[in-house]
Structure 1
Amino acid sequence: MLLDLTGRTALVTGSTAGIGLAIAKRLAEAGAHVIVNGRTQARTDEAVKTIADLLPDATVSGFAADFAKPESLEAVSAAFPQIDVLVNNLGIFTQASFEETPDSEWQRFFDVNVMSGVRLTRHYLGGMVDRQWGRVVFIASESAFNIPPDMIHYGFTKAAQVAIARGIAESVPGSGVTVNSVLPGPTRTEGVLAMFDEAAKQTGRPAEEIAAEFIPQHRPASIIQRLIEPEEVANMVAYVCSPLASATTGAALRVEGGLLRNPG
């Protein structure tokens, strides 16, 4: 199966590590000109070098910006006026009880996880429609449907992404542009490993032990019974961004190890 994105330009937000970096690598392998994004220049440059070292023939650029801030849109538009593939991966998560989560935290999560993708999609969608080809992907989460009680403020943003992606897809019928959301399950990323390290500090237990118990204790419905690797998510995203996925749009695509039992 050849996922050929030669001649396409792809922007992957939040792509200096974890799922985002894995997606950027996979799209570069498929021949796309990939724009890596991080909040700092140092992290962005490091990620660009990582991909360039791995794929010497790839075309990779970097764009350091915080897309939670509206003013970043003008800068990226000036640098990259045309985007063919937009992967809205930028996201944050923290564990906190509902009672202890203030308004400011709800707003911060909404700005980062939801509005960053809304603004970028709104800006680049018209050009995709005019060219009769484009791919937009929102990296949501199984938490969109399986809302964690200790991460309600996170789960609501992921549910919003699924709804937004479906609505945008329906707004451009027959355009050649597909819009989908991808729902990873718990994935072995820097953020998740840091969560295990913090739990280890608080409990005095080894982080490896906490990691091994996480899926059985907190996601017992998982069929694969392990953390997902970032590359496994990236494979799904690369497929849905490719010409081969031209009939897949408005979908919530699962890469969550089977832990969601409901169909759809």
Structure 2
Amino acid sequence: MHIDLTGKTALVTASTAGIGLASAIGLARAGASVVLNGRSAASIERAREALLAAVPGAAVRGVAADLAGAEGAAALIAAEPAVDILVNNAGIYGPQPFFEIDDATWEHFFQMNVMSGVRLSRHYLQGMLARDWGRILFVSSESGLNIPADMIHYGMTKTAQLSVSRGLAKLAAGSGVTVNAVLPGPTLSEGVREMLQEQARESGASIEETATRFVREHRSSNLLQRPATVDEVANMIVYLSSPQASATTGAALRVDGGTVDTIA
């Protein structure tokens, strides 16, 4: 299968590292012009250099904007008024005991993980419908189905993304615009590496070994018995952004290594 996104512009939020950067690189390899997003000009420049090293000659630019609030979304929209592909990847996570999660933390998670995608989709979907072509993707999580007891606030936001994604797909019914959600499982991103550093140091094991042990002990239903790579998740995102995925919409596609124990 040859995916050709020449002439398309793709915006990937939170694309300076992890799944976001891997997706930006994959979309650039397919020929798309890519708009990077991060909270600082410095992080965007590092990501731009990494993307160009992987895809020499790619068309890439960036917009620094913190999407945890309406002002950041407005700044991004002002800088990039129209895109063909929107990957709502911005999000935060982290374990925290339920009884210690205050209202401000709940609100921050909701604003960052849910409202960032709502605000951007509300703007960009209108242009996609007018042009009768577009792709919107929400990077949710298997935690939206398997709510983790140590990250209930995170799981809630990931479930909310599934509702928004399905509803927008219905809104775009009959058009050339598709809206889908991608549900990664345990993925060895930079953030996960940082989270496991202390545990790896204490055990004397590598980050990769520590991550694999975590999956086997805490996500025992995972059929891969290892974390996914960011590239493995990005492959699904690139496919769903392509013309070849024109009949897939309103779906929640798992890249979770079989962690969610269902055949549906």
Question: Following the alignment from structure 1 to structure 2, what is the Cα–Cα distance between the partners of residues 154 and 219?
Answer: 17
Q: Equivalent residues in 2 for 1:110-149 (5 A)?
A: 110-149=110-149
1:255 paired residue number? 255
2:99 paired residue number? 99
Aligned counterpart for 1:206 among listed residues 204, 207, 221: 204
Deviation, 1:200, is 4.8
3-state SS, counterpart of residue 95 of structure 1: coil
Q: Equivalent residues in 2 for 1:222-241 (5 A)?
A: 222-241=222-241
Question: Following the alignment from structure 1 to structure 2, what is the Cα–Cα distance between the partners of residues 28 and 200?
Answer: 34
Deviation, 1:190, is 1.1
Deviation string for 1:29-64 (max 9, x for gaps)?
A: 000000011111100111011111221121011111
Deviation string for 1:84-103 (max 9, x for gaps)?
A: 00000001111111111111
1:87 paired residue number? 87
Question: Following the alignment from structure 1 to structure 2, what is the Cα–Cα distance between the partners of residues 207 and 123?
Answer: 46
3-state SS, counterpart of residue 203 of structure 2: coil
Deviation, 1:263, is 3.5
Residue identity in the other structure for 1:134: G
Question: Following the alignment from structure 2 to structure 1, what is the Cα–Cα distance between the partners of residues 83 and 4?
Answer: 16
Q: Which runs of 4+ in 1 moved over 3 A?
A: 198-201
Contact 2:64-2:76 at 8 Å conserved across structures: no
3-state SS, counterpart of residue 24 of structure 2: helix
Deviation string for 1:186-220 (max 9, x for gaps)?
A: 1011111111124457xx33353532310110000
Contact 2:186-2:256 at 8 Å conserved across structures: yes
Counting matched residue pairs gives 262
Question: Following the alignment from structure 2 to structure 1, what is the Cα–Cα distance between the partners of residues 256 and 9?
Answer: 28
Unaligned residue ranges in structure 2 (runs of 5+): none
Deviation string for 1:138-162 (max 9, x for gaps)?
A: 0000000011110111011001001
Residue identity in the other structure for 2:5: L
2:154 paired residue number? 154
Contact 1:197-1:207 at 8 Å conserved across structures: no
3-state SS, counterpart of residue 211 of structure 1: helix
Deviates more, 1:225-234 or 1:47-56: 47-56
3-state SS, counterpart of residue 234 of structure 1: helix
Question: Following the alignment from structure 1 to structure 2, what is the Cα–Cα distance between the partners of residues 139 and 71?
Answer: 22
Question: Following the alignment from structure 1 to structure 2, what is the Cα–Cα distance between the partners of residues 77 and 17?
Answer: 21
CA RMSD of aligned residues (A): 1.2
TM-score normalised to structure 2 length: 0.96
